[in-house]
Structure 1
Amino acid sequence: MTSFATDDILPEPPPDALEVLHDREYRVRAFQIADDRLLIQGAVRDQKPPGLYVPDDPEPLTIHHMQLSFEVGFPSLEIVAATVHFESHPHPTCPSIETHYEQLVGLSIARGFTHKVRELFGGPRGCTHTTALLQAMAPVAVQCFWSMRAATAKRAGADNPVVSRERTGSGDGNLAYVINSCHVWADDGPALAERRAGGGPSVPIPMQRRLDELGIETPVDFDG
């Protein structure tokens, strides 16, 4: 299994903090299960530190642990299967909402997803923690748009399309899934204006840094 960095990504706690009261952890991972299918798995876990709720208990207490998996068609980014499982929950009736999340099937992650999730699963229509997890998972599918093509090419022994493919033009068709997704990709912003004018994208900063560290020349036809 591929290894990822597991170091602590939180900022340093303030020096005058009395003690840790709560730990919430999100973890999301994506897998290619076919050339046209993604599997996104996620979990959220809330823990209380040892001894805070149960006196003299040496172990942390897990209050919530929800798991969510969904399959996404590629390149449509439409959810085609979804399951929810509660590993740990505070109330006996918590798991009764699990099957409600099957309504994710048929939704597109690319456009209007956040609004639809709130409509279907917000407030009393869902589990607060599962819905928060879902909102954290959806962008991962979009992040895998080029990863899917790169993985397929790698298995086929072809050139990596992220770093070696020819530019495909300046039309919005290649950018539809990112338009208005954040301030960088605002429809009236400078990044899209440059692309529409035929300009090429810049190499992502972390990728450029790693290329420099490895002494690899930046591809002149980069279009990631």
Structure 2
Amino acid sequence: MPLSAPVPRRLLHRRIVQCWGYHRDDGLWDIEGQMVDTKTYPFPNEDRGGAIQAEEPLHDMWIRLTVDDQFCIHGVDVRTDAAPFGLCPAIVSRYQQLIGVRIGPGWSLKLRELFGGVRGCTHMTELLGPVATTMFQTVYGQRYDEDDAKSAEDRPPPPVLNTCHALSSDSAVVKKRWPKVYTGPDRETDKHYRPLLDDCLT
């Protein structure tokens, strides 16, 4: 459903972020992202021949992370196809420092530590956010599809339990899909399930 009707206005800037998740034949995962910024009007730019034209990319940046099943990064490929300054692409090699880093708790803090301020490219570092989210959607999505073949009682607890309101341990979604870890008001007391829940919440 579209948003409510806006007041009269004109488009000035468009940012498009696209991400793709792939399962490689060698068992690893490739997660790719692209960010493109364009304007609807031309504007001066000394580093790009005097001007950047309307709809010509101001930024066009790519990144690929290769990760394993534990979300540890094995490979990084970064490209800057368009940027406002000729110096911008010089920073891409710094992102090789992600090799060996695990995507998970503390990810945002690690990105600030490695690439904050003058140590990185603001836009490339921003792109790593949706790339990481796409990784989880790709890997966990396949695992959820595999779990659907199991009975609800045999499904393992989801690693994303209690990360949003729909996946709260007392929600109807969790009650239906993962009854072993459901904690809603009509939850039956069962000492057999309690250790499973404790493991998920710690």
TM-score of the aligned structures, taking structure 1 as reference length: 0.65
By how many angstroms is 1:119 displaced?
A: 1.3
Q: In structure 2, what is the Cα distance between the partners aligned to 1:107 and 1:24?
A: 28
Find the aligned partners of 2:60 and 2:27 in 1 and give their Cα distance. Answer: 30
Aligned residue runs from structure 1 range 10-159, under 5 A: 11=3, 14-17=6-9, 19-34=10-25, 36-49=27-40, 51-53=41-43, 59-74=54-69, 76-149=70-143
Deviation at 1:70, TM superposition (A): 0.8
User: Is the contact made by 1:43 and 1:68 (CA closer than 8 Å) also made in structure 2?
Assistant: yes
- Structure 2: stretches of 5+ with no match in the other structure: 45-51, 183-202
Q: Mean alpha-carbon deviation: is it higher for 94-103 or for 111-120?
A: 111-120
Q: Deviations over 1:182-204 (max 9, x none)?
A: 45557xx635996887157xxxx
Q: In structure 1, what is the Cα distance between the partners aligned to 2:53 and 2:2?
A: 24
Query: Which consecutive residues of structure 1, in runs of 5 or more, have no partner in the other structure?
Result: 1-8, 151-159, 201-224
Q: CA deviation at 1:104?
A: 1.1
TM-score (norm 2): 0.71
Cα distance in 2 for partners of 1:13, 1:103 equals 45
Measure how far apart 1:106 and its partner are: 1.1
Residues 90, 59 of structure 1: CA spacing in aligned structure 2 closer, same or farther, 3 A cutoff?
closer
In 1, are the aligned partners of 2:167 and 2:174 still within 8 Å (CA)? no
Q: CA deviation at 1:32?
A: 0.9
Query: Which of 133, 140, 151 is the matching residue for 1:166?
Result: 151
In structure 2, the residue matched to 1:175 is 158
Sequence identity percentage = 27
Secondary structure of 2:76's partner? strand
Q: CA deviation at 1:145?
A: 2.4
Q: CA deviation at 1:146?
A: 3.5
CA root-mean-square deviation: 3.1
Q: Structure 2 CA distance, aligned partners of 1:52 and 1:10?
A: 29
Specify the structure having the higher radius of gyration (Cα).
2
CA separation of 1:190 and 1:15: change in aligned 2, threshold 3 A: same
SS at structure 2 position matched to 1:42 = strand
Taking structure 1 as reference, are residues 115 and 179 closer, same or farther at Cα in structure 2, changes over 3 Å only? farther
Q: Any idea what SS the aligned residue of 1:118 has? A: helix
The 1:82–1:58 alpha-carbon spacing in structure 2 relative to 1, beyond 3 Å, is closer
Structure 1 residues 81-112: Cα deviation after superposition (integer angstroms, max 9, x where no partner): 01110000111111111010011111111222
In structure 2, what is the Cα distance between the partners aligned to 1:13 and 1:135?
A: 30
Corresponding position: 1:190 with 2:170:
yes
Partner of 2:131, secondary structure, is: helix
Instruction: Report the CA distance shift for 1:185/1:163 in structure 2 as closer, same or farther (over 3 A).
Output: closer
